[in-house]
Amino acid sequence: MFREIKDGQIPPRWSDFLNHGYGYPLFSFAYPLPYYAGLLIKSIGTDFVSAIKILFVLSVIMSSFFMFLLGRELAGSFAGFISAIFYTVAPFRLVDLYVRGSIGESLSLAIFPLLFFLTIKYIQRPNIFRMSFCSLALSGLILTHNIMAVVFFPIFVIFYWTIVFTYYQDAKIYTFKYFLPVILLGLGLASYFFVPAILEKKYIVLSNIKLADVRENFVGLKEYFLSPWSYDKPSFQLGWAHILGAVIGLFSVIFSNAVYKKKYISLVIMLTTAIFTIIFFAHSASLPFWNIPPLSWIDFPWRLLTPLAFLMALMTVFLSIHKLTRFIGIILVLLTVILSYRFATPRTYIQKPESFYYTNDGTTTSKNEFMPLWVKQEPTARWVQKAEIEQGSAVITDLTNNSKSIRFRIVTEGESIVKLNSIYFPGWEYSVDKTKLEPLISSDGLVRLRINTGDYIFEGNFKETPVRLWSDIVSVVSMGILISACVYYLMVIYPKNKVL
């Protein structure tokens, strides 16, 4: 992404370097926030590998810290401490780190507890400042991992209503006056990415294929308990200590006194229901539902284990209710840390030079699923010339190009066909001396242009389509609203009540 930002392509959508230099719409469909964060880290002087490692480390630190804040908010510091450790060493959390290397899911695991924590604080004292941060966290989740956002959104909504009904009960006010603005602003902030990604998916291979057969990627009930650890494929075990912690947390609320029961029973029911719902949808018994959106958007049913790891860890906050369960919680924490040590150890180290990441000619996606549908013959080698004369007699000079433009002078002695070694994608516009040209697209997906006799300046520019442009406007307006709301609160309201 650093090339695209350097070229002034904001927001980045099209990589001119990938796909052997023929271009690839990676940033139009791949979640962008990890790229932004990595670019920010790299800008301070690190290399690519170090930037990614720092991101993974930060994802672990932030996950632990935000889970501590959430646990402490719900049931005190001990609950925060216990749940943070359970969350940090959750088996599937370690799978994301050491087996799958999924930076998007690792960062989304940090946003789950943050979003819950900010939601509680917002419900406790609704104001535009707290609303802004809730919206920012929601948009951050969408931009960090769009599939995780789809999976987690229903859980988030039910959690919000659970807290409201437990403590306030005025669902109408808290839904329409307080919650709806959070949703609308959060969606608005992220609209520049997810709206074009949804509406322009019809242009790419992913609209016609499945990355995996869901029938081969369900999780059997036994695998939650016995799933051998392997660096070649994910392990689906939940962890014996985590299962015991969640179950004991459940019963500690059920058999608690009236005060604790009134305070926590709704939340426990919600979390338990969410856990078993996820287990059901990750199981083959749910197969008929996987042809229906939004489940049909998810390539692997076992992806549901990411929010499941969060919910299981959150159940352990209730171990803090009784002295006995506190003691059990400490034992379980020690047990899970000891048992997880062997999983949190790299098997091998892959050392690649920095140049490998600068010169990667592939698409960086597993099945080239973002390839435009009209590309029937995928490129296999980098081009020699970016533009060449395919038919006729002409001379090309003064050629310059980057990720968002190409420009050269062309002198033709008759009608000529110019081939650009660049795959066409909506947004590219071409002209000679400001006169628009319509591209000719063949089975290789490359751009060909018919140019008449003359001496011209040819230009190609990658622009925002109407869908992208309106989505950009919505995001800019949403950001303006968020900044204005925060400034207004800090300058006008905060001096009066001294509450953030």
Q: Would you call 441 helix, strand, or coil by DSSP?
A: strand
Q: What is the pLDDT of residue 344?
A: 72
332 and 404 fall within a common domain: no
- Same domain, yes or no: 36 and 104: yes
pLDDT at position 251 is 95
Q: Give the least confident one: 274-288, 331-345, 405-419, 460-474.
A: 331-345
Q: Which tokens sit at 1? A: 């992404």
pLDDT for 366: 80
Q: pLDDT for 295-329, tens place per residue?
A: 988 989 999 999 999 999 999 999 999 999 999 99
Q: Does 272 or 99 have the greater pLDDT score?
A: 272
Q: Is the previous residue joined to 294 through a cis bond, with omega within 30 degrees of 0? A: yes
pLDDT digits (tens, 9 = 90+) for 195-254: 999 999 999 999 888 888 899 999 999 999 987 766 566 789 999 999 999 999 999 999
Q: Write the pLDDT tens digit of every residue in 475-495.
A: 999 999 999 999 999 999 998
Task: With respect to residue 360, please indicate whether it lies within any of the assigned structural domains.
Answer: no
Cα separation, 487 vs 493, whole angstroms? 10
Q: What pLDDT does 43 receive?
A: 86
Question: Which residue, 112, 123, 107, is CA-closest to 31?
Answer: 107
Asked whether residue 398 carries a pLDDT value surpassing 70, the answer given is yes
In this structure, the answer to whether residues 178 and 299 fall within a common structural domain is yes
Residues with Cβ < 8 Å from 13, sequence gap 6 or more?
4, 25, 27, 28, 196, 427, 462, 468
Q: Mean pLDDT, to the nearest integer, of 5-22?
A: 93
Residues 206 and 335 in one domain: yes
Query: Are 329 and 391 in a shared domain?
Result: no
159: pLDDT strictly greater than 90: yes
Q: Which tokens go with 13?
A: 């959508």
In a domain, 311, yes or no: yes
pLDDT at 175: 78
Same domain, 332 and 188: yes
CA distance linking residue 334 with residue 112, whole number of Å = 24
Which of 44-58, 118-132, 301-315 is predicted with the least confidence, judged by mean pLDDT?
44-58
Region 79-91: mean pLDDT is 96
Whether residues 401 and 289 share a domain: the answer is: no
Q: Residue 231: its pLDDT value, please?
A: 56
Please give the average per-residue pLDDT across 432-457, as a whole number.
Answer: 92
303 found inside a domain: yes
42 domain residue, yes or no: yes
Q: What is the pLDDT of residues 399-441, one digit of tens each?
A: 999 999 999 999 999 899 999 999 999 999 999 999 999 999 8
Residue 353 has pLDDT above 80, yes or no: no
Sign of the Cα pseudo-torsion (36, 39, 41, 43, in order): negative
Residue 260's domain spans which residues? 26-340
Is 109 within a domain? yes
Question: C-alpha angle with apex 165: 161 to 168, nearest 5 degrees?
Answer: 115
* % of the chain residues with pLDDT over 90: 73
**484 belongs to a structural domain:** no
Cβ atoms of 93 and 340 within 8 Å: the answer is: no
Question: Are residues 57 and 185 located together in one domain of the fold?
Answer: yes
Flag the least confident range among 135-149, 199-213, 352-366, 397-411.
Answer: 352-366
* Distance in angstroms (rounded) separating the CA atoms of residues 284 and 299: 14
Residue 263 lies in a domain: yes
Question: Do 219 and 86 share a structural domain?
Answer: yes
- Is 318 found in the same domain as 205? yes
Average pLDDT of span 452-456? 93
| pTM listed for this prediction | 0.93
> Total domain count for the chain?
2
For residue 11, is the peptide bond before it cis, meaning its omega torsion is within 30 degrees of 0? Answer: yes
Residue 3 lies in a domain: no
Residue 136 has pLDDT above 60, yes or no: yes
Partners of 441 in the β-ladder: 447
Cα torsion 363, 368, 373, 377 to 10°: value is 80
Alpha-carbon torsion angle 40, 41, 47, 53, nearest 10: -130
Query: What's the confidence (pLDDT) of residue 229?
Result: 65
Supply the pLDDT for residue 230.
Answer: 62
Task: Work out the pLDDT band at 365, boundaries 50, 70, 90.
Answer: confident
Burial pattern 8-46, b for ≥16 Cβ within 10 A else e, equals: ebebbbbbbbbbbbbbbbbbbbbbbbbbebbbebbeeee
Indicate the helix (H) or strand (E) that contains 248: helix 240-254
Per-residue pLDDT band at 169 (split at 50, 70, 90): low
8 Å CB contact between 227 and 236: yes
Mean pLDDT of the chain: 91
Mean pLDDT of 35-55: 89
Same domain for 291 and 409, yes or no, is no
Mark whether 394 and 320 lie in a shared domain. no
